Amino acid sequence: MNEATTEHILGPSSPDSWSISSFLSKWGVYVALALVILISAILSPAFYKFSNVLNILRASAVLGIVCLGQTLVILGGGIDLSVGAIMGTVAIFISEFTGGVDTGVAWAIPACLMIGVAVGWLNGMLVTKRNIPPFVCTLGMLIFVEGIRFAYTAGVISGRPAPFIRKLGSIIGPIPIPVVIMVALSVLVWILLKKTSFGRRLYATGGNREAARYSGINVDRISIATYVLCGLCAAIAGLLLAGYIGYGDRYLGRGFDLDSIAAVVVGGTAFEGGRGGIGGTIAGVLLLTILFNIVLILNLEVHYQLILKGIVIIGAVLAYSSHRRFV
């Protein structure tokens, strides 16, 4: 076998470049997270104050739960822009349904969760059965859901979430309840991906949809399931957001759509699907949340959040792309 053939099979004969790109692709988000934590502590000692750490954990937990569902969708080769609209709708409806008392919580929580499931199911059906591109479909669903919410409330939000919902945003000892819920859900999603046939089929579907179909996998069913689970995660996050904020607001949930996609991609999940996992997603969530937090601590203008977010996303994509060239 000549040198040209060897290079064609194994890739360019540059082990240093390959090892660096491989390391960045696999561990880059964790290295970046460690560096951001270190730099943040140097820039502002207030970063390590208990109240600030508590805010970071709460914000990370809510975004993290949304990202769990977004990870599943992206692994399957899709994308969901409607998660923010689901969160905002659930946050408002739980306030409207309960009217600030616990009497209706027993039916209001399942009703709000079903909103997320229903929107996710519609997304999945339209993407798989009508072949609507996921970006277009979920963007249209975002607008549709927000329109229903505005029509229902007529721009006026009455009442606060029930005390039980507000307690979901509180802490148990030193740990915020949303963090406990996020950790529990992360473990469940990890088991789903790594220990079940659904997870194996999901990776196969995202890696090569047609090959998965020919191998006997019901790729439509897998895709629909990911959108349903994503909608459910967004609904859970909406309940926690309502409990944390303490009132319903028509703008709640905005920005979570793009932030969830950014965190998933920064965490190493391939945008085209088939590669990635929950560990990287959680690291991506913490990385973005801490970046946003340090901007606020340093009293910088909010637009610096956007600049930092763009730099992080482009850097993550470059690291992934360089790794792909050498494997």
pLDDT of residue 313: 76
Domain span including residue 285: 23-325
**Residue 179 falls inside a structural domain:** yes
Nearest to 151 by CA among 159, 163, 143: 143
pLDDT given for residue 49 in this prediction: 87
Q: d(Cα 70, Cα 231) in Å, to the nearest integer?
A: 9
Q: What is the rounded CA–CA span in Å between residue 118 and residue 227? A: 10
Specify the pTM: 0.89
Name residues whose C-beta falls within 8 Å of residue 227's C-beta, 6 or more positions apart in sequence. Answer: 73, 78, 80, 120, 121, 123, 124, 127
Start-to-end CA distance of the chain, whole Å, equals: 19
Contact 284, 265 (CB under 8 A): yes
- % helix, strand, coil for the chain, step of 5: 75, 0, 20
SS (H, E, C) 284-317: HHHHHHHHHHHHHHCCCCCHHHHHHHHHHHHHHH
Candidates 285, 62, 47, 283; CA nearest to 169 is 62
Q: For residue 315, give the CATH number of its domain.
A: 1.10.3470
Is 33 contained in some domain?
Answer: yes
Question: In the chain, how many domains are there?
Answer: 1
Contacts of 34 (CB under 8 A, 6+ apart): none
Does residue 3 lie in a domain region? no
Q: For 199, list phi and psi in degrees, rounded to 5.
A: -60, -45
> Which tokens in the block code for residue 309?
């977010």
Q: What is the DSSP secondary structure assignment for residue 78, as one 8-state letter?
A: -
As a whole number of Å, the CA-based R_g of the chain is 21
Instruction: Measure CA 235 to chain center.
Output: 12
- What is the pLDDT, as a whole number, of residue 3? 41
Establish if 115 belongs to a structural domain.
yes
Q: Do the domain assignments include residue 172?
A: yes
Q: Is 310 exposed, middle or buried (0-12, 13-18, 19+ CB in 10 A)?
A: exposed
Q: Are 94 and 242 in contact (CB under 8 A)?
A: yes
Inside any domain, residue 13: no
Residue 15 falls inside a structural domain? no
Domain presence at residue 17: no
CA–CA distance, 35 with 22 (Å, rounded to integer): 19
Tens of pLDDT along the chain (327 residues)? 444 433 333 344 444 445 666 666 677 788 888 988 898 888 888 888 888 888 899 899 999 999 999 999 999 999 999 999 999 999 988 988 888 888 889 999 999 999 999 999 999 999 999 999 999 999 999 999 999 888 887 766 656 888 898 888 888 878 899 999 999 999 999 999 999 999 999 999 999 999 999 999 999 999 999 999 999 999 999 999 988 887 767 778 888 998 999 999 989 898 889 889 999 999 999 999 998 888 888 887 777 777 877 887 787 777 666 655 545
Q: What is the pLDDT of residue 160?
A: 81
Closest CA relative to residue 69, chosen from 195, 214, 227: 227
CA distance 261 to 257: 7
How many Å apart are CA 263 and CA 237, to the nearest integer? 15
**What pLDDT score does 178 carry?**
93
pLDDT at 189: 97
